Each structure stands twice: as structure tokens, then as C-alpha cells.
Amino acid sequence: MATDSLEGIVKTLSELKVTDLAKLKTLLEEAWDVTAAAPAVAMAAPAGGAPVEAAVESTDFEVSLTEVPADKKIGVIKVVREVTGLGLKEAKEIAESAPKVLKESAPKAEAEEILKKIEAAGAKGSMKGL
């Protein structure tokens, strides 16, 4: 296989969402009858008996609108329209039927920015790592 083909594959895979990559992993495991599990690594406990924390931080986040006070609805609708690109009617429906997911997959910085906008408009939101 030529290097150009491999670079094309890398570019295509780099553009996939995390959820699509997980599906691809599963499909490849089934097609090739293999398991893509990371090998177990034995780690020594740190001195002093402190527990080892292996916190893996998410790279993509789901941002949800959880609560909209009635007196803040107009401002929240504006934020929903800005974040989602939806029309007025659709944004109003989302604001009135909270809790609703606004963005299914966003990088951490973008998710935090959306959450700040939601809270600045007077509503409550949440972000969940994927």
C-alpha cells in the first residue's frame, strides 16, 4: 500500500467522532476475530501508601440544558439558537422541554463555553464526558 493511501486513511480516521471510532473498533474486532484491549501493566504502589488514581479525562463532552426558569426563557432561546443553529420554533421547543441535549459531542473548551452561555442566560446546564 502506498504512503499516500496510508496518509489518506489517517486523515479520514482523524475526522471521525469518538463514538464512530468506538464502533469502528468493534467492527474490526468482529471482522478480524481479535480483541483490541490494552495490555495490563503492573504498577507498584507509590511510597507512603497513597492510592494510584488513573483518571482518564474525556476529550468530547455532551452538553445538556437541564432547567430553564420561566422568566429567563427568551434569553435561553437565543443561546439555544446560537449554539445549535436551529430556528426560533425549534429552539423554543427545546427550552420549554428541558432537560434536552444541546450538543452531542463537543471538545472540552467548546462545551465549557456553551455551559457558560447557558448559565449567563439564567438557565442551568450540564456537561458529561463521553
**Domain check: are 72 and 18 in the same one?**
no
Range of the domain at 70: 60-129
Tell me how far apart the alpha carbons of residues 101 and 124 are, in angstroms, rounded to a whole number: 12
Chain segment 2-28, per-residue pLDDT in tens = 677 888 888 888 887 878 877 888 887
Q: Is residue 53 part of a domain?
A: no
Residue 37 has pLDDT above 80, yes or no: no
**Domain check: are 79 and 119 in the same one?**
yes
**Domain check: are 27 and 64 in the same one?**
no
Chain segment 59-116, per-residue pLDDT in tens = 788 888 888 888 989 998 998 898 888 889 998 998 888 788 888 888 888 888 988 9
Taking the whole predicted model, whether its pTM rises above 0.85 is answered as: no
